[in-house]
Structure 1
Amino acid sequence: MMRMLAPLALLLATPAIAQTPPAADAGGRIETARTLVGKLNIDRTLDFQFSGLMPLVSAQIVTAMQTAPDMPQAVKTRLATPEGQQQVGAIATEEMMAAFRARYPAIIEAAAEEYRRNFSESELKAIIAFYDSPTGKRLLTLQPQLQQRLAEAGKAMGREAGMAAFPKIRARVEALDTGKAKK
Structure 2
Amino acid sequence: MKRIVATLASVATLFSAIPAAAQKAPPTVTVAPDTDPARVAAATRLIALMHLDATLDRLFAQLTPVFAQGVIGALSGDESGRTLLAALDAKPDGRERFSAILSQEYLASIRRRYPEIERGAAAEYAAAFTREELEAIAAFYSSGAGAKLLRLQPELQQRMSARGQGLGRVAGAEAGERAVTRATREILGRTDRPAT
2:182 and 2:86 mapped to 1: Cα distance?
A: 35
CA distance 1:50–1:155, shift in 2 (3 Å): same
Q: State which drifts further: 82-91 or 34-43.
A: 82-91
2:85 alignment partner, one of 55, 58, 75: 75
2:18 and 2:166 mapped to 1: Cα distance?
A: 17
Q: Could you tell me how far 1:134 is from its partner in structure 2?
A: 0.6
CA distance 1:95–1:172, shift in 2 (3 Å): farther
Q: Could you tell me how far 1:68 is from its partner in structure 2?
A: 1.9
Matched, 1:180 2:186: no
Matching residue's letter, 1:39: L
2:151 alignment partner, one of 121, 124, 141: 141
1:54 and 1:32 mapped to 2: Cα distance?
A: 32
Q: Could you tell me how far 1:167 is from its partner in structure 2?
A: 2.5
1:61 and 1:83 mapped to 2: Cα distance?
A: 17
2:170 and 2:151 mapped to 1: Cα distance?
A: 31
Q: Could you tell me how far 1:94 is from its partner in structure 2?
A: 0.4
Contact 1:172 1:181 in 2 (8 A): no
Q: State which drifts further: 133-142 or 79-88.
A: 79-88
Q: Which residue of 1 aligns with 2:113?
A: 103
Contact 1:51 1:97 in 2 (8 A): yes
Q: State which drifts further: 52-61 or 30-39.
A: 52-61
CA distance 1:30–1:108, shift in 2 (3 Å): same
Partner secondary structure for residue 57 of structure 2: helix
Structure with the larger RCO, 1 or 2 (CA within 8 Å, 6+ apart): 1
Q: Which residue of 2 aligns with 1:54?
A: 64
Q: Which residue of 2 aligns with 1:130?
A: 140
Q: TM-score under structure 1 normalisation?
A: 0.78
CA distance 1:68–1:163, shift in 2 (3 Å): same
Q: TM-score under structure 2 normalisation?
A: 0.73
Query: For 1:35-68, what per-residue CA distance to the aligned partner results, in whole angstroms no more than 9, with x for missing partners?
Result: 0000011111111111112232221121112222
Contact 1:62 1:79 in 2 (8 A): no
2:125 alignment partner, one of 103, 106, 115: 115
Contact 1:37 1:111 in 2 (8 A): yes
